[in-house]
A = this chain, B = another copy of it.
Amino acid sequence: MIQQMLERFAIATRGRGLYEVTREVQGCVARARVQMGLCTLHLQHTSASLLIQENADPDVRRDFETFFARLVPDGDAMFVHTVEGDDDMPAHIRTALTAVNLSIPIAEGRLCLGTWQGIYLWEHRTTPHTRTVVVHILGE
């Protein structure tokens, strides 16, 4: 019979950058003792996001930062919402351009990630933050 489980975990970020959380999520899947099912992640913030990306070459993560810094520059004169800092509105936009929820099937007790896929929490603020991820697992 199909059952469900809900967990939360927190990540303390050291400011802007990609933090891998694949192991934390696999831990939730293992505790749920689900062989086949669906894992949904929801990040409860508006200035950080969840991203599935290459887990091999660290240059990929560096290039992500370079590209997004050019696409949505901190302190851009077009922004009106600046009271929370030069990086706040860009952080909201970077979040909108990526995602705050992910849904990943589970097979044989593990997330169906591809060989090169890792799950990352992408902190978009320049200062450290504590970010909470809600993990919902459904299956049997």
Contact = CB atoms under 8 A, between A and B. Distances in A.
B79 A63 contact: yes
Contact of A81 (B57, B136, B138): B57
Give the number of copies in the complex.
3
A4 B107 CA distance: 12
Interface in A55-99: 57, 59-60, 62-64, 66-67, 70-72, 78-81, 83, 89, 92-93, 95-99
Interface residues of A, number: 62
A42 B96 contact: no
A17 to B, nearest CB: 14
A102 interface: yes
B67 A138 contact: no
B117 A45 contact: yes
Contacts of A105: 6, 40, 42, 134-136
A69 to B, nearest CB: 9
A51 interface: yes
